Amino acid sequence: MKHHRTGASRQATAAPRHAPRQVRIIGGQWKRTPLPVMDAEGLRPTPDRVRETLFNWLDHLLDRDWHDLQCLDLFAGSGGLGLEAASRGAARVLMVESQPAAARQLQAICDKLKADQVEVRRGDALATAAAMAQSDTRFGLIFLDPPYHQNWLQRMLPLCERLLTPGGLVYVEAEMALDTAPLPEWLQGWQLLRSDRAGMVHYHLFTLQPAA
């Protein structure tokens, strides 16, 4: 499948100097629920309009069938991605967050929403993913939205390959476009399904290329 760019968000706008104080859940049972954003280094919530486009893509690819989906949010931050998936009916969402205060805030939000299908795990994303890759734990959708300029994608995508169910999807947010040739070596084996840009945010949806 060729990757697709949506026309509406091609026009880049200047990135805000500071993260917004809150984002909101866009769809599902908790629609319009605000999610506070902590002022913490490296915490960069996915903008509402980017998540709206992403979840439109996912609704289309999943045929709006979320009820059996196991999701992993490796850099959970404000919880906007993982909680959006849970709001839409994902069976399970594991949110991993290394910052103690942010993890506590995520747990408080889940408790308030009675989000029993969501697990908040405080820990390092790389170590957590590596440990799960050694087990039989697999996910149909992985959110990968790490801090920029720290080479996280090169380290995380090989682990995501081992954590995906067959046909699973990985959402990747980056400071640069990942759809330009030649692709870096660490993207070999991945197939780009969708990509777009909003301001300084480049976002992509990948799946593993089928085995030859």
Whole-number pLDDT of residue 212: 62
Q: Report pLDDT digits (tens) over 69-91.
A: 999 999 999 999 999 999 999 99
- In this structure, is residue 87 part of a structural domain? yes
Gyration radius from the chain CA atoms:
16
What is the mean predicted confidence (pLDDT) over 170-191? 89
- In this structure, is residue 5 part of a structural domain? no
- In this structure, is residue 30 part of a structural domain? yes
Q: Report pLDDT digits (tens) over 146-175.
A: 998 899 999 999 999 999 999 999 999 999
Query: Mean pLDDT score of the chain, rounded to an integer?
Result: 88
Eight-class DSSP state of 52: H
- In this structure, is residue 74 part of a structural domain? yes
| CATH number of 203's domain | 3.40.50.150
Q: Which two tokens stand for residue 55?
A: 């979840």
Q: What's the whole-model pTM score?
A: 0.88
What is the mean predicted confidence (pLDDT) over 24-28? 95
16 Cα distance to chain centroid? 20
* Element containing residue 47 per DSSP (H, E): none
CA distance 31 to 29: 6
Cis peptide before 16 (omega within 30 of 0): no
Total number of domains in the chain: 1
**Where does the pLDDT of residue 7 fall: very low under 50, low under 70, confident under 90, or very high at 90 and above?**
very low
CA distance 147 to 43: 7
- Specify the range with the lowest mean pLDDT, choosing from 4-18, 39-53, 91-105: 4-18
- In this structure, is residue 107 part of a structural domain? yes
Domain region containing 43 = 22-208
What is the mean predicted confidence (pLDDT) over 105-114? 96
Q: How far is CA 16 from CA 82, 105, 119, in A?
A: 23, 23, 31
- In this structure, is residue 15 part of a structural domain? no
Whole-number pLDDT of residue 38: 77
> Above 50 in pLDDT, residue 122?
yes
> Above 70 in pLDDT, residue 12?
no
- In this structure, is residue 192 part of a structural domain? yes
Q: Are the beta carbons of 175 and 152 closer than 8 angstroms? A: no
- In this structure, is residue 8 part of a structural domain? no
